[in-house]
Amino acid sequence: MQLDARAVTREPAVPLVVADWKIDAEVVAARCRQRLGQGAAVRVVVPAWLHGLDWAGDPFGSVPCARRQAELLSRLCRDAGLNVLSAEVGDPDPLSAITDALFDRTACRILLFAAGRHVSAGHPFGLARRTERLTGLAVHGFRVPPALEASRGRRFASGHCEGRIRVLPSLTR
């Protein structure tokens, strides 16, 4: 009889926090602290979500934004008294990012933070319901307003944290 090495070294199930890169990280950290309590262990994944027409361009254009959000969220959660076991950037498709995060780690539930209708548990095709059906875990959805940096700019600006249009000095002469 052989033992599965992954089964022996498997870590305990903790909540998986899934947060959009465009939302206010301070609100996410505060709600996690309120919902889970002081000292709770969590894992964080930030999908490199492609919003609007971003899907038609560079599929990796949101990775720097997601990386920045993961670092910020990790720091803010630690400051709020949570034990962040890992913080990572996920696939641009949020459902793929969630399943990838659960591939070799277990979770006891999923806390999903996003703006708009994506977190509505009442919508049969919303991300929260699809995630519940796919993972079999309880999914708690939270609507969070966009971060100020992501919502600033011109009407048709990309909204990326590092994707603002820059004018090179050599082009202005």
Q: Is residue 88 part of a domain?
A: yes
Query: 104 is in which domain, residue-wise?
Result: 12-171
Confidence of residue 155 (pLDDT cuts 50, 70, 90): very low
24 found inside a domain: yes
**Across the beta sheet with 139-143, what order do the strands follow?**
83-90, 41-47, 14-19, 107-114, 139-143
Quick check: is 93 in a domain? yes
Query: Is 129 part of any domain?
Result: yes
Top pLDDT among 50 and 5 is at 50
Q: Is the pLDDT of residue 120 over 70?
A: no
Condensed to tens digits (0 to 9), the pLDDT of residues 44-75 reads 999 998 876 555 667 778 899 999 999 999 99
4 within domain boundaries: no
Domain assignment present for residue 152? The answer is yes
CATH code of residue 60:
3.40.50.620
Q: Is residue 1 part of a domain?
A: no
**According to the model, what pLDDT value does residue 62 have?**
86
The number of folded domains in the chain is: 1
